[in-house]
Amino acid sequence: MIKDTMLEKKVWAVIGANQNPEKFGWKIYKRLKDKGYEVYPLNPAYETIDGDICYKSLSSMPKVPEVINMVVAPERGKPYIEEAAKLGVKYLWFQPGTFDKEILALVKELGMEALQACVLVATN
């Protein structure tokens, strides 16, 4: 099952991670980190998140993530998906509300695999 395959991967990026403990970008980043994943926050609006360097792009991260967790609106996510494909990332995990038909078609066109589910539920 694709969900299990993704959860077995240990290097993740959270696109849309943020510093607000009330928002999903924070909750998802913290949950993955607390569960022992090597997780990198990506958000051009921040320098750090939870004491960790926050990256502006996938290519600026020290490692290419195995899974990308999307916590941004579809129109903001498209450039990151295109960058991920160029870097060879295969797996995209879309939080509810972060995907639409156009994004899912792009994922398929780029040969990537996607899951639409809440990672907070999956890692509980």
Which tokens is 7 given?
């959860």
In the chain, what is the straight-line distance between the N-terminal and C-terminal CA atoms, in Å? 18
Q: What is the pLDDT of residues 48-98, one digit of tens each?
A: 999 999 999 999 999 999 999 999 999 999 999 999 999 999 999 999 999
How is domain 2-122 classified at the CATH fold level?
Rossmann fold (3.40.50)
* 4-31: pLDDT as tens digits: 999 999 999 999 999 999 999 999 999 9
Tokens (6 digits) for 23: 């928002």
**Can you spell out the DSSP letters for 70-120?**
E-S-HHHHHHHHHHHHHHT--EEEEPTTS--HHHHHHHHHTT-EEEES-HH
pLDDT score, position 114: 97
Q: What does the pLDDT read at residue 100?
A: 96
